[in-house]
Structure 1
């Protein structure tokens, strides 16, 4: 989960060493984390024929780049994230993979990315949207993505979702916590992560997600990935 949404202060204090620890931890905390990224690559390859420029919103430490860039040599990328520490790790990863010449990095939120960074054939926003409150902020980000895509272009996003007031939410949350123990994560670290989720994640139901996507200008989303409270979705810019 990256911080396209968590504010400038948090972004500035997210140093490179912490970013690297984050990179190690997230793979144990999110079920199917690697599968989410490889499935994203497969879906985008099918939708774009492996050609064009892709917008990565909240690129974090570059997990998307590691999955996407080697998969299709015909892709180039514009990757934005307001966290300098995370973006530095992503740039190091791009260099190590030998794909840096195909990536343009922007240390900012999406609304500050220059309009001439495109045109784009697709966009991703993985594990970012849930950091934004549903006070117009989620919708604003989705509209900003839509404004940068042509009609019919695919948009893939992943989110923590569910209505916190439902028994389903409580059941899945408890199961997720128990699963983390089976992954060898110490109870103190689990408690810290759960406190972060309770404090910083702004859950909405899938029904609300559908409404936000429609209002932003996207087609109905197809869920292609799921794990406890996490979901991955494919939709398209409406014509």
Structure 2
């Protein structure tokens, strides 16, 4: 037990793939391009909805006379009893997120577990954000399936809101874990704190200098790091 704990402690101090980070990000860019083609074709996975449009969830004609606040209330009530997550993002915040996602389409998110963290790679494809565990990518490569997809709908931006919901694979991820990852999207892509978003820029544009422990430190600083570990 002591040996295992010491090994775990040493592993926590290491830089994840520091010497091969550039190669890893190049590989992830290739995977993103493949998934974009799949998304434009027949979908990413048989277990997820293909071409999920807002009109398949809401009757857009019936809400045209509603305010953004009223639509937000309808949206959150609709998903309250469902085994998924949802959110209403202000147009201003989503514009920041989407602009950053365009220039930085990938990031390494850390999901708190009872012991340590599990890493997930988030890959943007348009207004969708696909999450796949790092271990699955390392072992399955291009065949690694999405385990969580966040769908963002900018259809109602003129009312000041962007709606979000998700689909998840319950065999690999819980609703609570999905919520934690979604919160991290706001943290790293929607933040006003430059030091926080700089981690995303480093991962995408200066991968050789990226350190995974900096992500964990930022999570713990924000309070999200202990959300699932307690």
Band the TM-score falls in, shorter-chain normalisation:
under 0.3
Compare relative contact order (CA 8 Å, sep 6+) and give the higher one, 1 or 2.
2
Larger radius of gyration: 2
Structure 1-normalised TM-score?
0.23
Structure 2-normalised TM-score?
0.23
